[in-house]
């Protein structure tokens, strides 16, 4: 049993949903964002509310429900010149061949941050996450890259089964100065951003890789 540390909710700030449609959350169109997840990159419509639910609950290991990385393979030495696609699968599904990396991965990258997010991000240094979007129904994955010296090198919360780092995220990974990087996923099944009784979270198999010098 592994418990993910639940960060304290301290200062708050308003986070916009962006685009032209607002959602209400804890009031009108804004909500409380936990600063302990302010570094997290959100992908695939994943929400901070779901992540907070995941972090608040202790993860267990279960080979049938945990994830396993498909690419890159464990111990891979990666060319740092361009981002690679990280892919994974759950339980028995991990025995199947992964999808070929999408040629248009950047097309699905996060939307451009709204003015509010840019201002807030610039002034307070918080992430431009897609907060309080569509509630998650189904699985989502908390992907953490870490080194010995930096346990939060890069953290991603996504509903997808793949992740292609943005240029900024890739720079974080490649700029760590050598040595192995470990990636680990904690996944859960959500029901409107909440984790039902039999929905996990489950800790997956970790993998490690390093960059070619």
Partner 1 sequence: MLSSRLPDALRYRLYRSSALLGLAVVTASLGGACGDDVTDGSGGEGGASSSSSSSVGGAGGEAGGSEAYDWGLPPGYPKPRVPADNPMSAAKVELGRRLFYDTRLSGNQTQSCASCHEQALAFTDGLAVSVGSTGEQTPRSSMSTVNTGYLSSLTWANSNLSSIAIESGLLLETQAMVPLFGEDPVELGLSGMDEVMLERLRAEPVYQAAFPAAFPDESDPFSLQSVLYALAAFQRSILSYRSAYDRYNYGGDPTALSASALRGRELFFGERLECFHCHGGFNFSDSVAHEGTTFDEVMFHNNGLYNVGGTGDYPEDNTGLYELTGVPSDMGRFRAPSLRNIALTAPYMHDGSIATLSEVLDHYAAGGRTIETGPYAGDGSQNPYKSELIAGFTLTEEERADVLAFLESLTDEALLTDPRWSNPWKE
Q: Which of 33, 143, 189, 203 binds partner 1 (CB under 8 A)?
A: 189
Only one of the segments 1-9, 29-37, 163-171, 184-192 lies at the binding site for partner 1 (rule: CB under 8 A); that segment is 184-192
**What minimum distance in Å lies between the beta carbon of 129 and partner 1?**
15
- Let me know: does 88 contact 68? Beta carbons within 8 Å: yes
**What minimum distance in Å lies between the beta carbon of 36 and partner 1?**
25
- Let me know: does 143 contact 187? Beta carbons within 8 Å: no
Do the strands 207-211 and 76-78 form a parallel or antiparallel pair, or are they unpaired? parallel
- Let me know: does 30 contact 15? Beta carbons within 8 Å: yes
Q: Which of 134, 166, 174, 182 binds partner 1 (CB under 8 A)?
A: 134
| 193 forms part of the interface with partner 1 (CB under 8 A) | no
Residues 22-81 touching partner 1, rule: CB under 8 A, are 44-45, 65, 67, 70
Q: Which of 40, 90, 144, 156 binds partner 1 (CB under 8 A)?
A: 90
Question: Among all chains, which residue has been given the structure tokens 């418990």?
Answer: 3
Interface residues with partner 1 (CB under 8 A)?
Answer: 17-21, 44-45, 65, 67, 70, 87-91, 93, 96-99, 102, 104, 107-108, 134-135, 137-139, 159-162, 187-189, 191-192, 196, 198-200
């Amino acid at each position: 049993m592994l418990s993910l540390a639940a960060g304290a909710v301290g200062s708050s700030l308003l986070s916009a949903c962006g685009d032209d449609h607002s959602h209400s959350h804890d009031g009108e169109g804004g909500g409380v964002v936990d600063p302990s997840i302010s570094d997290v990159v959100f992908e695939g419509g994943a929400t901070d509310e779901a992540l907070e639910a995941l972090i608040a609950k202790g993860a267990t290991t279960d080979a049938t429900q945990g994830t396993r990385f498909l690419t890159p393979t464990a111990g891979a030495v990666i060319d740092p010149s361009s981002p690679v696609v990280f892919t994974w699968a759950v339980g028995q599904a991990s025995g199947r061949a992964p999808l070929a990396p999408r040629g248009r991965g950047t097309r699905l990258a996060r939307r451009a941050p709204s003015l509010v997010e840019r201002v807030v991000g610039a002034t307070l240094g918080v992430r431009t996450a897609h907060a309080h979007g569509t509630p998650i129904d189904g699985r989502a994955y908390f992907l953490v890259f870490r080194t010995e010296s930096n346990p939060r090198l890069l953290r991603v919360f996504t509903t997808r089964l793949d992740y292609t780092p943005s240029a900024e995220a890739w720079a974080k990974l490649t700029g760590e100065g050598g040595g192995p990087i470990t990636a680990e996923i904690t996944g859960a099944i959500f029901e409107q951003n909440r984790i039902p009784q039999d929905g996990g979270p489950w800790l997956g198999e970790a993998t490690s890789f390093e960059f070619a010098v």
